[in-house]
Amino acid sequence: MPALLNQLAAEERFTDKELEGVKAALREAEKLPQLVQAEQTAAERTETWTTYAAKRVDAPRIARGAEFIAQYREMLMRAESEYGVPPSVIAGVLGLETNFGSFTGTTRVLDALATQGMDHPTRSKFFFSELVAFFAFCRDFGMDPTEPKGSYAGAMGWAQFMPSNYRRLAVDFDGDGKRDLWQPADAIGSVARYLVDYDPARRWHRGEPLMVPAKLLQPLAADVAVNTSRSTHRAGSLAALGLESAVDLPPETRVGIVRLQLDQGEEYWLGLHNFYSVMSYNPRVYYAMTVSLLAREMARLDAERGAAGE
């Protein structure tokens, strides 16, 4: 506790009275060791792509996504105008994160971050920093630290922002004077802003695709980089590596090689710049692939319904 209090006082200028409030909240915090296990055994780490995708890139979620796009079209179009991120990609993120706000988490954020910030075997430094940010967030947003609920990792709202990102990147997109990620409008605008402003090197590029299929021509050498968090190759070098793009790409196009483990065999894709923008939201290849495929299918269904006059 002393390190936390000292950091809040030094970096966030907490007053003595505010620090007493932090102490009171921490006395109510529950240690939940199962949250550490949940983080370490997340589906992105343990499932094949076949199993993972079947649960998430499914007809009900795609249909709900098309409905979401239709319901919030004006807000989504404004987000695209301001940030360049298409409605289908925003819907893909919100659909995967919380099934469009239907499940934003039932764990107290205080408990999640206090547990993982103190007891996580490999990521305690990260979660401790988020615990600091959480108390600052609660002060700045006028919230009781014992009240907000979120994921096992401490992510909040429809968009599942960690406290530091909530403070830095959330936007008041409906103009009500509050940045409330439990409301769809602010979640829409905040997802778009995140993909643009979180990491300047992976800033969303307006009008560009996310990924294209690839065909394996020969086994990749052991030292060929795959499933990285940033592009590592040029399109012109793929043939020499043993890969062929399904789409003609300019030779200088930067790409990353995505290898997906299936129940039987493997599948290859090429991640383009915007694929890695999505990976800045969650650094798992399965995550970015799911958002990309959901976006494609949601946009397709939305277009079909529009053409049919629905």
CB under 8 Å to 44, separation ≥6 — which residues?
52, 282, 284, 285, 286, 287
Rounded-to-integer distance, Cα 97 and Cα 279, Å: 13
At 309 the pLDDT is 81
Each residue of 157-173: b (16+ CB within 10 Å) or e?
bbbbbbbbbbbebbbeb
Per-domain boundaries in the chain:
211-271
Rounded-to-integer distance, Cα 163 and Cα 137, Å: 6
Q: For the sheet containing 211-216, what is the strand order?
A: 233-234, 254-261, 266-271, 211-216, 243-245
Rounded-to-integer distance, Cα 208 and Cα 272, Å: 8
Q: pLDDT at residue 1 above 90?
A: no
What does residue 278 show for φ and ψ, rounded to 5 degrees?
Answer: -65, -35
Bridge partners of 150, per DSSP, are 107
Indicate the DSSP class of residue 161: B
Rounded-to-integer distance, Cα 232 and Cα 140, Å: 40
Give residue-wise pLDDT tens across range 23-82.
999 999 999 989 888 888 887 878 999 999 999 999 999 999 999 999 999 999 999 999
At 119 the pLDDT is 87
Rounded-to-integer distance, Cα 255 and Cα 236, Å: 10
Average pLDDT, the chain: 96
The string of DSSP codes covering 164-228 is: HHHHHH----S-SS---TTSHHHHHHHHHHHHHHS-GGG---TT--SEEEEEESSPPPTTS--S-
Structure tokens of 38? 């949940």
Q: Which residue has the higher pLDDT, 97 or 310?
A: 97
> Could you give the dihedral angle defined by the CA atoms of residues 90, 94, 99 and 105, in that order, rounded to the nearest 10 degrees?
180
Give residue-wise pLDDT tens across range 223-264.
999 999 999 999 999 999 999 999 999 999 999 999 999 999
SS (H, E, C) 50-80: HHHHHHHCCHHHHHHHHHHHHHCHHHHHHHH
Give residue-wise pLDDT tens across range 156-182.
999 999 999 999 999 999 999 999 999
Question: Which active-site residues does the annotation give?
Answer: 97
Give residue-wise pLDDT tens across range 93-140.
999 999 999 999 999 999 999 999 988 889 999 999 999 999 999 999
Kindly indicate the confidence band of residue 17, based on its pLDDT and cuts at 50, 70 and 90. very high
Indicate the DSSP class of residue 157: T
At 37 the pLDDT is 86
Q: pLDDT at residue 310 above 80?
A: no
